[in-house]
Amino acid sequence: MTLRLAVTIFPGFQLLDAAGPIAVFEMASRFSPGAYEVRVLAPAGGQVTSTSGVTFGAENLCDGPWDTLMVVGGDTRRAIKESSAITDWLRRAAPAARRVTSVCSGAYFLAEAGLLDGRRATTHWGSTDHFARRYPEVKLDADRIFIRDGDVWTSAGITAGIDLALALVEQDLGGEVARRAAQQLVVHQRRPGGQSQFSALIELGGRSGRFAELMDWMRAHLAEPLTVERLADQAAMSPRNFARAFTAETGTTPAKAVERLRLEAARTAVETSHTPIDRVADTVGFGDPERMRRAFLRAFGQPPQALRRSARG
């Protein structure tokens, strides 16, 4: 049986939000011919321009029948203000669909239609504060690549739509087809671990870049003790004010940020070098290899040795 998927876009949509999942369903259909029929829909149909200036041809919104509804993200806040067509369509079409999904800030449309009330959901890290204020009925989890709550699936920023689509393929066609589709796309079938979206904020030094210099200093001193007191001293702040300001800026505590930076440095060393694991642990500040192993399991779902084997194929 062919599963009919409606990928819904709008003027100012994010190109990869749509193209990534569509490519996944295309690859899956190579290994399971006829599995999917993907249609691109938009409120007015016709040529729809993305944020990059590239246009997609789309059909008018129609009620199906659809197996899966997918709404992508982009300049979503403006789109919601300018048109209620997508939310009205979701309210009509969702009850008849097997599942409803969103990519990135496409979760705004699902929330606007009331489909996320009382459910767990995620969206792009850059929208989480605004989203949480606008939709307090939604149980927002900003630290997930994608979330399934019953028949409603939401995903994080942009490339997470590929992760979501692979999970949908696995549900529909099994792990082998999903694995082969991922291989063709040269991506993980299951991206290792939670991989906090807030790591992007950490990399930038916070929403305003206030702690950018501190981040550079932290990376240069990972092997040393990085206590809150020492970080606060480096930032010329009191420990209490520093901890509060840092958490507000980056979405995570100083201790978790230090661990994240160490994890990222350790993972790079594990996957790209032959340095012994215990030496890596010392170099990035974990000290004890067992401590680093536990951190890897929490963050990536695999120990360092498994990631090294995977990286070497």
Contacts (Cβ under 8 Å, ≥6 apart) of 220: none
Same domain for 146 and 207, yes or no, is no
Same domain for 42 and 179, yes or no, is yes
Can you give the pLDDT at residue 234?
A: 96
The b/e string for 73-91 (b: 16+ C-beta within 10 A; e otherwise) is: bbbbeebbeeeebbbebbe
Give me the DSSP letters along 214-282: HHHHHHHTTTS---HHHHHHHTTS-HHHHHHHHHHHHSS-HHHHHHHHHHHHHHHHHHH----HHHHHH
Can you give the pLDDT at residue 35?
A: 97
Same domain for 128 and 218, yes or no, is no
Which stretches within 83-227 are classed as H helix? Answer: 85-93, 107-112, 128-134, 160-173, 175-185, 199-204, 212-220
- Mark residue 33 as left, alpha or beta (left: phi above 0; alpha: psi -120 to 50; beta: remaining): beta
Can you give the pLDDT at residue 195?
A: 40
Same domain for 134 and 228, yes or no, is no
Annotated active-site residue 104? The verdict is yes
Counting residues of the chain whose pLDDT is more than 90, the rounded percentage is 65
Residue ranges in the chain modelled with pLDDT below 50: 193-200
Can you give the pLDDT at residue 77?
A: 80
Number of domains comprising the chain: 2
Give the domain extent around 299: 199-311
Same domain for 23 and 143, yes or no, is yes
Q: Which of 157, 185, 213 is the last residue of a domain?
A: 185
Same domain for 8 and 157, yes or no, is yes
Same domain for 290 and 141, yes or no, is no
Catalytic, out of 104, 111, 243, 307: 104
Same domain for 135 and 279, yes or no, is no
Q: Which of 243, 265, 242, 263 is nearest to 253 (CA)?
A: 243
